[in-house]
Amino acid sequence: MTIEVGEVRGLLGPNGAGKTTLIKILSTILLPTSGTAHIGGFDIVREVREVRRRIGIVLGGDRGLYWNLTGRQNLAYWAALYGVSNKKAKERIEVLLAQVNLLDRADDLVGAYSRGMKQRLHLARGLVADPMVLFLDEPTSGMDPIAAREFRSLVGDLRREGKTILLTTHDMSEAESICDRVALINHGSLIAIESPSTLSKLIAEFEHIEFEKVGASDLMHEVSRIPGVSRIYALDKEGAYCVNVSEKTAISLVLERLIASGVVSIRTNRPSLEEVYVHLLGENRGRASESPV
Amino acid sequence: MRALRVFSFGLLVGWRDLAVFWNWKTWTLGWILRVCAVAGSWILLGKLLQSEELIEFLLIGNAIAAGASAAAWAIPASTWDRVDGTYPLLLISPGSIFPAIVGRTAVWMVNGVLTSVVAFCVLSFAFDYSIEHASYWEVGLTIITVCTSTYCFAVFLGAWITLLPKLRNVALGLVATAITTVCGVSVPISFWPSPVQVVAFALPVTNGLEGFRALVSNDMGNQFAILLTNEIVVGAGWFLLGVLLMDVIANRGRRDGSVEFM
């Protein structure tokens, strides 16, 4: 797997797929048991110092910050650890605090920050030494939707600055919205590298519609005849059904037909990551054996 | 220069850790009162036996050991970067993690020195004791040396205890018990069999305390200088081992994944 300079690469996979382990190996926290990896041309095992000078890492969750220091002090500490001079650090910290929208809370103790604020401070911490490569490990996990959207917008800013970013997530829509390309991994193996548009197509292909049927006994027959509907089945004995589609255009046709028939309880669901995986694994079976990450 | 900056920030983190436990009111009315109460109960044995020698022995031993026990808090403090989740991040910063860890834990050495000084003053006043054959600077020098060497020992144990961080408070308790039991605090070193005495002199506190006792009771300045030097050597040895061990354990943690547990 090669990531181009300035690219935002998503690493998508279910829990336990090996996303975080890969990030920790690339960031030199862990040593690999086998295989090789290079960052900016430097080997992550043999040229650790050179690699460390060029990377920043943001781990998801609350940990990794000093809660009894202020946001500004945290950044100053990490700047010292990365050998950023005092003068440069002061300027850089102001810029970063403004960028992550924490200037007005910069002198508050981190323990008093919300989850979203801590995560933004994490991002600023990861950027304090102006790294060439940034690793983001599930940076929006546990965030409320608004904080997650703000965070994604920050990643968008970094992409425009030309940073190379490797981001892990198990949220397909997150990968779709901020990544240039997405690598799908499972059980430590690379399954596919797709563009967000392909991912979007996959998501659409496996979108399904759930509804509760009322009256019109021939409704099921009519829906099943709509082009692009691949399957229709009962979810329970109370009249709840699910429609699977294989083409995005079929969704609106099915919805129109259901509404016209007086169905008011309708829900469209995006496919789970597992469903996309099952599909991709099926496609890959015919190809050569899986490439190790 | 970078190491000094990192150390100073580590010190700031350590100071804030300390502030979580104590403010000046709880430090004086809680911590110091407790330390003096424990030491005082030992010294009362001397009072009961009406032995001025025993009072002096127990007062000096317990006042100095109180500071050493306080400095040993650096053992659990060594694991707090793991608890905070900052340890793996410190590890992958381009510099050494050592100034950061030492900075964060050194606060407990300072706390030890202050504890011993205050305890010494309070107990001397409470038991109407005045020191002979030694000046106040010699008292201060002994306290600083003993607390520093205990801190160095704590750095070594702190490196070990990062492998079993859940046992950090148990380790602190064991060290405090070992100091008060075998290092000549309340029980003379000569009481113990030779192998225990050898171990005791390899531990912090013993040399410094014995040296100070030699000075106070017999005015033996040379003996004091030799034993205080021994105390420094013992501390430096443990510190060096601690530094090496920290590095070994960090590398091992990168291989087996234990770098990020907790």
**What would the pLDDT profile of A3-34 be if each residue is shown by its tens digit?**
999 999 999 887 888 888 899 999 999 999 99
Provide the pLDDT confidence category of residue A292 given band limits of 50, 70 and 90. Answer: very low
What total of structural domains would you count in chain B? 1
| Angle at which helices B194-202 and B168-182 cross, to 10° | 120
Smallest CA-to-CA distance from A53 within A124, A123, A125, A132 is with A132
Position B17 scores a pLDDT of: 93
Same domain, A86 and A197: yes
**What would the pLDDT profile of B143-194 be if each residue is shown by its tens digit?**
999 999 999 999 999 999 888 888 899 999 999 999 989 999 999 999 999 9
- For the domain that residue A252 is a member of, what is the CATH number? 3.30.70.100
DSSP code at position A129: T
State yes or no: pLDDT of B214 exceeds 80. yes
Q: How far is B1 from chain A (nearest CA, A)?
A: 9
- For the domain that residue A178 is a member of, what is the CATH number? 3.40.50.300
Position A250 scores a pLDDT of: 84
What total of structural domains would you count in chain A? 2
Q: How large is the average pLDDT for residues B53-71?
A: 94
Q: How far is A69 from chain B (nearest CA, A)?
A: 7
Nearest 10 degrees: CA dihedral of A186, A190, A193, A194?
-20
Provide the pLDDT confidence category of residue A293 given band limits of 50, 70 and 90. Answer: very low
Provide the pLDDT confidence category of residue A280 given band limits of 50, 70 and 90. Answer: low
Nearest-CB residue to B92 (from A57, A67, A83): A57
Same domain, A33 and A104: yes
| Nearest residue on chain A to B88, alpha-carbon basis | A29
Nearest-CB residue to A27 (from B13, B90, B92): B92
Same domain, A138 and A247: no
**ipTM, 2 dp:** 0.88
First-to-final CA distance of chain A: 7
> Of A201, A235, A253, which residue is a domain's last?
A201
**What would the pLDDT profile of A117-175 be if each residue is shown by its tens digit?**
898 999 999 999 999 999 999 888 777 788 788 888 888 888 888 899 999 987 777 88
Least confident of A19-33, A217-231, B229-243: A217-231
Full domain range(s) for residue B106: 2-260
3-class secondary structure, A194: strand
Distance of CA B122 to the CA centre of its chain: 20
- Considering Cα of B149, then B238, then B164, then A58, what sign does the dihedral take? positive
Same domain, A66 and A195: yes
CA-to-CA distance for A119 and A60, rounded, in angstroms? Answer: 7
State yes or no: pLDDT of A223 exceeds 90. no
Position B216 scores a pLDDT of: 86
User: pTM to 2 decimals?
Assistant: 0.82
Same domain, A78 and A178: yes
Full domain range(s) for residue A240: 207-269
Same domain, A32 and A156: yes
Q: How large is the average pLDDT for residues B222-238?
A: 94
